[in-house]
Structure formats: structure tokens, C-alpha cells
Amino acid sequence: MRALPLLALALAACSAYDTDIGPTPYLCSDSADPPCPEGYTCQDDITTGERVCVASGDHLSSEFDCADDSAIEPNNMLDVATMTPLDGMRSFTKDGLAICPAGDKDLFAITLAQQNESITLEAEFSPSGATLVGAILNAGGVPIATAQGVAGEPTKIRTVAQNLPAGTYYAQIAASVTATVTLNNYKVSLDVGGP
């Protein structure tokens, strides 16, 4: 009889369901509310344009020391993007930026006054944080150039969008949705080139 209470206690401590489905992103549900399981958030994957469930990562990155970029926040939507002096100036560089808290993304607005110009986006990030991704977006927020890693420089990404019509564009930086660590500090460089 004494073994029965111990068995009941052991069964109560176990769960038939594993709530940790790993860091791999899954598509967000269009019909469920919330659209992701507990511990996951629905985010835009800027490389594919899909909405994916991503492990929140708060427990994985609580000790990361984020740079204080509150002077440019919030800038995670097109209508609140950080304004840059481009195209009046041809280059813009800003250091001390952060993808923080988990799920943050930074957008920088660029206005081109002339036809056939190009925009170069380059970002360099800390090796101790998340791998960052970047893209150049059109006025509607659609990626037109996706940053790739720079050969021999594992903490740098770069892309160029060429022969652009005059108008407004955005440079976007975020953490990779496949990363288990979701925070990082970085420096961004944007350049406008002539036809």
C-alpha cells in the first residue's frame, strides 16, 4: 500500500506533453488565438516574408548586456522608422544600436531624390549575441534586397539594391528567427551611390 502514494506522486510530476518544441521557427496559425504555442511569439521573417513562431528566448538571453539605443526607439514599424540624412548625405553610420528586447527590429528610412541610385546596407554585430539579418525594403515594406554574410567576416552582413526609382526605402535589421539567442548589439552603415 505504501508504494501507491509514491506512484501517484510520480505521475503527478510528469506531463504527457512536451511544451518545448525547440528553437526552429514554425508558421503562425491564422485561425488560433494566440497564433503560437506558449513560450513562442509570432514574428515576421524578413528573409521569407512569412509569419513564424519563434522561441521567446528571454530565458536564454537575460544576461546579455544590450546597448542603450532608446534615443531611436521605437523604430520597428515603417511609420516610426528612424530618419536618416540620406540622400542629402551619401553615407550614414550609427554605432551603439541593439536588437533588444526579444522580437525587436530596427528600421531606417532612406529617401532617394534621383532615379537609378543604389543603397548599400552593411551591419556588423557582436559575436556573443544573435546572428543578425538585414534587408532593404521598398515603400510598402516588401524586401527588395536581402543581406548575406560577408566572406571571412562571420559577424558582418551586407546587401545592395541597385537602379532604384526615386522614392522612400527602408533598411531593416533584426535577429535571425532561427537563433536561440535573440539579442545583439550592432553598427549599421548605409550608403547611397549614383547611377
Supply the CATH number for residue 138's domain.
2.60.120.380
27 is a domain residue: no
Mean pLDDT within 129-152: 95
The pLDDT confidence band at residue 195, using thresholds 50, 70 and 90, is low
Q: How many structural domains comprise the chain?
A: 1
pLDDT of 97: 96
Mean pLDDT within 166-193: 91
Cell of 15: 506531463
DSSP letter for 37, please: -
To the nearest whole percent, how much of the chain has pLDDT over 90?
Answer: 56
88-124 residue pLDDT tens: 899 999 999 999 988 899 999 999 999 999 999 999 9
* Domain around 108: 64-193
Question: How far is residue 120's CA from residue 142's CA, in Å, rounded to a whole number?
Answer: 17
146 is a domain residue: yes
9 is a domain residue: no
**Amino acid at the residue 18:** D
pLDDT of 59: 39
pLDDT of 46: 59
pLDDT higher at 128 or 140: 140
- Evaluated on CA atoms 162, 122, 55, 180, the torsion sign reads positive
14 is a domain residue: no
88 is a domain residue: yes
Average pLDDT, the chain: 83
The pLDDT confidence band at residue 6, using thresholds 50, 70 and 90, is very low
pTM of the model: 0.70
Please enumerate in sequence order all residues whose Cβ is within 8 A of that of 3, keeping only pairs 6 or more positions apart, or say none: none
Mean pLDDT within 65-76: 91
10-52 residue pLDDT tens: 444 444 444 555 555 668 888 888 888 877 777 776 556 677 7
143 is a domain residue: yes
pLDDT higher at 190 or 33: 190
14, 7 in Cβ contact below 8 A? no
pLDDT of 151: 94
107 is a domain residue: yes
Q: How many CB atoms lie within 10 A of CB 16?
A: 5
127 is a domain residue: yes
